[in-house]
Amino acid sequence: MDMLQSFDPATGEVVGSVPLTPPDEVQDVVDRARTAQVEWGAVGLDHRAQILARAADLYDARIDAHADLITREMGKPLKEARAEAHRLGGPALGRELEEIVEALRPEVLESGGARSTIHHDPLGVVGAITPWNFPMAMPSWMVLPALAAGNAVVFKPSEETPLCGQAYADVLLEILPPDVLLVIHGADDQGKALVASDVDMIAFTGSREVGKHIMREASGTLKRVVLELGGKDPMIVLDDADIAQAAAFAAHNSFRNCGQVCVATERIFVVESIADAFEEALAALASAMRVGSGIDDVDVGPMVNARQRDHVLAQIEAAVDAGAKVLAGANGHHDNFVTPTVLTGVTDEMDIGTVETFGPVACVTRVASIDEAVQRANDTPFGLGAVVFGKDEERAEAVGRRLTAGMVGINRSVGGVPGTPWVGARESGFGFHKSRDGHRQFTQTRVLTRPA
């Protein structure tokens, strides 16, 4: 049996391996899931939620083991890995299930002597293809609502983090009936085979290019799709912003998880009057960051692999060659480690100004006015998140409302309160995760009408 090996990006050592799924066997896996779905879908919403709730204690008992695995396989600092592992179980899982159950309960409408009941029924089999940057959190966003809705799931974790994906699934496999959740492992060939199979839905998080391929392929049978794709998130720093607060956010959101975050801050537009002070503060924070293996007490771990490292370094080099100025970093890179880098004078003519970086680089561009900042922030095919910093929050919010993004943070990150969707605009997504409407995307809406 062919095996898929997984490597520690900090050391290059083999972390472990999983069996590689032959692409020509993927449809057989889907067939098994479809057979199992019939009984699982008939169990009932509340009973399914009760079964899934048993996973909370199992995830809690494995926080340390899961965090260690995330760090060794993906590279993020252990403290960040622990936070990710912690969110899988405990009260967080309970709240998520409560939200899903509430979203999927039947609704009744009456008018004109008729009574209509809106049901949210299982679709059938959902294919979930998940990324490597949050290798346990992102599967939960797709697998949990799909299962709670009564679907069976065929889950393909990223080939970069197959051990994390398998560990996430192993908890659920302990409590679920056979074949309701099945895991396949591999890279492009296995992902394409899953999309080409007769699954009823594909949920995917990853690059814009792969998302477009999935949408084209899914169109043949009009499979349902939920796609969370890339971003080139802007940050606008207004002239009345708290400079220390804005710089701290920019450093955190540009460099956390080594910049490998879909809503990382990739473009910073700063009003000219405060640009010197902002750049100085941001450069100081970047220079103070500790880089190393995520197992150690560091702020920034390695890039996930050499390919991603080379992409980031090529963007930095090309930007400097084209006239960008280095304020911090841009040297000391080695192996898969990229030093947190601050560039200023970044223009849209530079690759790093328009193409997703997904690495620890903060790109600063000075602007003469708010109108220029908004225009440049919106000049992109992406539209996942954006942030605005300014002490006058009503003014900052008015700027935020002008931005073409699915999620906008005012003096904070883009993540909303529980119950809000995770949603992108333009080419950053199709459909969305979380929230009442997000959970309903894993269902078939069915309306039954009879006399009142």
Residues with catalytic function: 228, 262
Q: What are phi and psi of 15, to 5 degrees?
A: -90, -35
Please tell me the distance from the alpha carbon of residue 329 to that of residue 317, in angstroms, as a whole number: 12
Single-letter amino acid code for the residue at 162: P
In sequence order, the β-bridge partners of residue 445 are 120
Degrees, nearest 5: CA angle 316-317-323: 90
Give the helix/strand (H/E) hosting 202.
Answer: strand 201-205
Q: CA–CA separation, 209 vs 204, rounded Å?
A: 12
CA distance 7 to 302: 12
Residues forming a β-bridge with 6: 16
Q: Which residues contact 220 (CB under 8 A, 6 or more apart)?
A: none
Surface-to-core class of residue 31, CB atoms within 10 Å of its CB (0-12 exposed, 13-18 middle, 19+ buried):
middle
Helix (H) or strand (E) holding 315: helix 306-321
Residue 6, token pair as written in the block: 């997984």
Q: Are 132 and 160 contacting, i.e. CB atoms less than 8 angstroms apart?
A: yes
* Tokens standing for residue 162: 């197959």
Which residue, 365, 441, 137, is CA-closest to 262? 137
370: left (phi over 0), alpha (psi -120 to 50) or beta: alpha
Contact 278, 244 (CB under 8 A): no
Beta strands in 114-160 (DSSP E): 114-122, 125-129, 152-156
How many whole angstroms separate alpha carbon 365 and alpha carbon 385? 18
Residue 94 corresponds to which tokens in the numbers above? 């309970």
Cα distance between residue 179 and residue 19, in whole Å: 17
